[in-house]
Structure formats: structure tokens, C-alpha cells
Structure 1
Amino acid sequence: MTGLASLTWLIGTQALSDHIVAHVNEMVEAGTEYAQACNEVTDAADAGEAWAIAATRQTWDRRPDTDEDDAPIRRLYVLERTGNTVVVADLDLDEDPQANRTGGLQPQHSRLGNEEQGAVVDVELLNLYDLRAWNPFEHLLPTAAVPAAGTTGVGE
């Protein structure tokens, strides 16, 4: 799922705005002009580029046209994003539920990282995947309006 409209539907206006503003601020601190940073981040988010939309608490599915050797994990969950890397856990629960008790990687993917802590990979790897779900921390707030979750943000 990509595009600013889809992302807005998925996580809500406020959460997406906070996410985009954080990236814009990072670019401005690195020396990019504000207007240029706004354009680059919003264009990249609209195009679904991983560097612009990857965040903690996301689920990504490998694209059907992606070679399994290039992206060995079919479904992954982003445990944490730090700069240009993400810590991911294997979510191929339908293949071997016992392998995911710790939320880490399945044994066949152990070369990618520690099974209990997940794998640290470059954020660009997510370009081989499609974003399927995003549960930002704002979802935990009782006043959050998130259309995809069916919340109105009023009295919940």
C-alpha cells in the first residue's frame, strides 16, 4: 500500500504528518532547504519509497515479483528504525509457528541476525516489500482517529 492518501487512511492524518515532519526536520538539520526537504519527503512517501515511510511497528510483505534470494523473509515486522537501518523480525507464522515464540527470526534466516533480537538490515531492503500494516504509537492514544482501525477519536 503506497501513496499519501493510502497512508493517511492507514494511520491517520496526525500520525502521518508527524512522521513526515520528522523526516523534513532531519533533512533541514543536515543542510537541505526547508521547501526542498518538504518536496523530497512528500514525493518519496507518495511513491512508497522505504526511506521515507519505514517506521517502527510496521508489517511488510515481500512483493510477488521479488526473488526469494534477494528478500528471504516473506513477511517481516519492523521492531525499530534507527537512521538508515531497521531491526526486523520474521512474521512467517503460517510456515512454522514455533519458530516465532520470541518474535525473532526463524532458524533458516539466522544468518540475517540474532533470533531473539531480530535482524538489522538496511532500510532500502524494504523496497522489495509492500507496506501492509502500520501501528504507530499514536494508535495507543484514546483520542486517536484512525480510519483503518475504525476509530473516530471521540470518547474511545
Structure 2
Amino acid sequence: MTGLTSLTWLIGTQALSDHITARVTELVEAGTEYAEACAKVTDAADASEAWAIAATRQTWVRRHDVDPDEMPVRSLYVLERTATHVVVAYIDLDQAADDSDGGDHSNLPPQDADLNDHSRGAEYPFELLEMSFELAAWEPFEHLLPTVDVPAAGITGVGE
């Protein structure tokens, strides 16, 4: 999924606006001029750059051009976003991996074996997330409100 149009369809105008505004504010607080920050964030979001679009409650899936032997994790769920990385939970591993957490047959590299534990998260820099994964789903907190109106999600607000 790429581009601002797809993101708007996925989460709605208000949620996307709030997310972009937060990224712009981060850049402005770091010393970037407001107009430049707006252009940089919207261009990056339109290009699906992870630093601009990564947020909590997102599911990212391994890109089709990534070798499963190099990246055995198929899906990640973003638990938290910081200024430099996301904290993710591994949703599933390829069948070649052990079904139990961290078993002897897991195809994760030995240094990552402890991360095959769904009760805690792993830190992923934005670059690594973008290099191997693409955004598949995003459930912003706004969707939990009873009055939310997100036509693309089939939610029309109160009375549903």
C-alpha cells in the first residue's frame, strides 16, 4: 500500500492529518522550517517511507521481493513508535520456523532467537522496517470512538 490516497482510504482523513501533523511537529521542534517540514513529511508519506508513516497499531507484511531465508518473519505489529524506531511484535514466522517461541528449530538468526517471543517487542529502526516490509493495515485509536465516520472502513458512526 502506497501513497497518501491509499493512507487516506485506509484510516480516514482526520487520523492521517493528525499523524502527519505530529511528524511535522517533530521536525519543527528539531529545527526544520515549518514549510520545509510539511513538504518533507507529505512527500515521505506519499512515498511510503517508514519514518513518516510508521505508527502504533499498524501491521506490516514482508515485501514479496524479500527472501524468506533472510527475513523469516512475515508480519510485524507495531506496539510503539519513538523518534528513531518502532517496537514491534512478530506476528508469524514462516513454516520453516519452529512453532514454539525460540525453539531449537527456529530459522531466526541466533542473535534474534530471543525475539521470537510474542509477549515482548523488538526494536526495529525505520530503515530496516522499510527495507523488508510494507504497510498492510492500520487501526488508529480514532477508530475505537463510537462517533467515528470512516467510509472506507464501512463505519458510519453512531447507531451502527
Query: What CA deviation, in whole Å up to 9, does each residue of 1:4-38 have, x standing for no partner?
Result: 01000100100000000000001001110000000
Q: 1:71-82 to 2 correspondence within 5 Å?
A: 71-82=71-82
Q: Which has the larger radius of gyration?
A: 2
Pick one of 122, 133, 147 that aligns with 1:143.
147
Question: Does the Cα contact within 8 Å between 1:71 and 1:125 map onto a contact in 2?
Answer: no
Which position in structure 2 is the counterpart of 1:46?
Answer: 46
Which position in structure 2 is the counterpart of 1:126?
Answer: 129
Q: Offset at 1:129?
A: 1.0
2:11 is equivalent to residue 8 of structure 1 = no
Question: Does the Cα contact within 8 Å between 1:86 and 1:123 map onto a contact in 2?
Answer: yes
Q: Offset at 1:97?
A: 10
Give the whole-Å Cα distance in 2 for the aligned partners of 1:97 and 1:17.
Answer: 41
Q: 1:91-130 to 2 correspondence within 5 Å?
A: 91-92=91-92, 95=95, 99=100, 106-107=101-102, 108=106, 109=108, 111-112=111-112, 113-114=114-115, 115=117, 116-127=119-130, 128-130=132-134
TM-score, scaled relative to structure 2: 0.83
Query: What CA deviation, in whole Å up to 9, does each residue of 1:79-129 have, x standing for no partner?
Result: 111111111111127848964xxxxxx423473354221211212212121
Q: Report the AA paired with residue 146 of structure 1.
A: V
Which position in structure 2 is the counterpart of 1:102?
Answer: none
Question: Does the Cα contact within 8 Å between 1:15 and 1:138 map onto a contact in 2?
Answer: yes
Count residues with an aligned counterpart.
150
**Identical counterparts, % of pairs:** 65
Q: Report the AA paired with residue 134 of structure 2.
A: D
Question: Does the Cα contact within 8 Å between 1:15 and 1:136 map onto a contact in 2?
Answer: yes
Q: Report the AA paired with residue 151 of structure 1.
A: I
Q: Could you list the runs of 5+ residues in structure 1 that have no partner in the other structure?
A: 100-105
Q: Could you list the runs of 5+ residues in structure 2 that have no partner in the other structure?
A: none
Query: What CA deviation, in whole Å up to 9, does each residue of 1:57-80 have, x standing for no partner?
Result: 101111111133553311111111
Question: Does the Cα contact within 8 Å between 2:68 and 2:94 map onto a contact in 1?
Answer: no
When the two chains are superposed, the root-mean-square deviation of aligned CA atoms in Å is 2.2
Q: Offset at 1:154?
A: 4.3
